[in-house]
Amino acid sequence: LSFHGDESGVIATNDDASESKRSCVKLGYYQDDYLQNFVKISEKKAPEINRGYYARVKGIEICIEKFLKKTGDKCQIINLGCGFDTLYWRLRDAGHNITNFVELDFPTVTAKKCYQIKRYKVLLDKIHLEDGEIRFSPTDLHATNYHIVGVDLRSIDEVANKLKQSDVDFNLPTIFLAECVLVYIETANCNNLLKWLSSNFHSAAFINYEQVNMNDRFGDVMLNNLRARGCNLAGVEACLSLDTQISRFVQCGWTGARSWDMCQIYDSLPMSERHRIEKIEMLDEGELLIQLFQHYCITVAWNGELFQDIEITVE
Ligand code: SAM
């Protein structure tokens, strides 16, 4: 295990994701008024990349909204490998004020995120609730219902400790989110984490977005690309098929799971939205987008009764 190895390659994937999302937002694929405070560079990405990120962000948003419909705002969201994700602020703008929102990433990443939050009033105002105080360290921030903590997700003790510091309530319905994160974690460590979560959170859902169908030629190209940029794809075993995505959750004690590739997720987005974004940029070749969509998926796992009949309708 490269537990204390060089993490710079994996950490850099966050810059890539954030820049790509920024590119999308700039072109009008979707609205995010906060991302610009975390990423300055906005090099224009290829149309296929923009559409891919659009589908990723919208797909996850739809899942989150479905779960929030079930729980109301009395729940927790725990964002694993959060990077510069702005979901907390976007949910606030959508009128949600959920009980607790916790973000975890390597300390190098959370330090940067904390720094920007402190620096921009527009970010700080939304986490600064009346009467609430905010506690900062260079890598962690604790407010009334928003926490960000620096941690290596491979260390369960550290994760448990940081969640405790973030006032996490094991009895409250909890939604976990991992967006392109688990693939970078060694299979054994990832399984330990998923097992620990399923045995400690009895009313929980897990939304996982990441690579799938990695054992074909296009998958090989994607993996080699990431490896060339210094990423250790230590968790790729679970990314072989939709079935391996599902079974790893079930084997780690989750009650059930479902998985869809991004072709299915994209087709389930409202037609008016698809028509709108398809007019933003012409695709050079539609085949590449289909290939990309076939190689990413959203898996939803659940634990306990509250979430068991959840349907992420895919037409
Ligand atoms: N979820 C964000 C998004 O989609 O915009 C960031 C995605 S980025 C591709 C992967 C993130 O996972 C990086 O920020 C990286 O630092 C984090 N990560 C990967 N392995 C981790 C670990 N063992 N502990 C903590 N964070 C980790």
User: Alpha helix locations (H) across the chain?
Assistant: 8-27, 47-71, 87-93, 107-119, 121-127, 156-165, 187-200, 217-228, 242-251, 262-268, 271-278, 286-294
**pLDDT, position 315:** 52
Closest C-alpha residue for ligand 1 atom 10: 181
| pLDDT for residue 41 is more than 80 | no
Pocket of ligand 1 (CB under 6 A): 10-11, 13-14, 17, 81-83, 85, 105-106, 109, 152-154, 179-181, 184-185
Instruction: Read off the pLDDT of residues 253-267 as tens digits, 9 standing for 90 and up.
Output: 999 999 999 999 999
DSSP 307: T
3-state secondary structure of 36: helix
> pLDDT: is 314 or 300 the higher one?
300
User: Which atom of ligand 1 approaches the CA of 79 most closely?
Assistant: 1
Confidence grade of residue 1 (pLDDT, cut at 50, 70, 90)? very low
Compute the distance from residue 285 Cα to the ligand 1 centre, in Å. Answer: 30
Compute the distance from residue 83 Cα to the ligand 1 centre, in Å. Answer: 6
Confidence grade of residue 306 (pLDDT, cut at 50, 70, 90)? confident
At position 199, the amino acid (one-letter code) is: S
Tokens for 237? 């075993």
> How many degrees, rounded to 5, is the angle at CA 54 between CA 122 and CA 35?
20
| pLDDT for residue 313 is more than 70 | no
Compute the distance from residue 7 Cα to the ligand 1 centre, in Å. Answer: 10
ipTM entry: 0.99
User: Which atom of ligand 1 approaches the CA of 177 most closely?
Assistant: 1
Pocket test for ligand 1, best of 39, 89, 179, 181 (most atoms within 8 A of CB): 181
As a whole number, the mean pLDDT across the chain is: 94
Compute the distance from residue 81 Cα to the ligand 1 centre, in Å. Answer: 4
Domains of the chain: which residue ranges? 8-303
Closest C-alpha residue for ligand 1 atom 18: 81
Q: How far apart are CA 174 and CA 113, in angstroms?
A: 23
CB 105 within 8 A of CB 81: yes
Compute the distance from residue 284 Cα to the ligand 1 centre, in Å. Answer: 31
Tokens for 59? 């797909």
CATH homologous superfamily for 8-303? Vaccinia Virus protein VP39 (3.40.50.150)
| pLDDT for residue 67 is more than 50 | yes
Closest C-alpha residue for ligand 1 atom 12: 81
Instruction: Read off the pLDDT of residues 284-302 as tens digits, 9 standing for 90 and up.
Output: 888 999 999 999 999 999 9
Tokens for 80? 């694993």
Pocket test for ligand 1, best of 10, 22, 232 (most atoms within 8 A of CB): 10
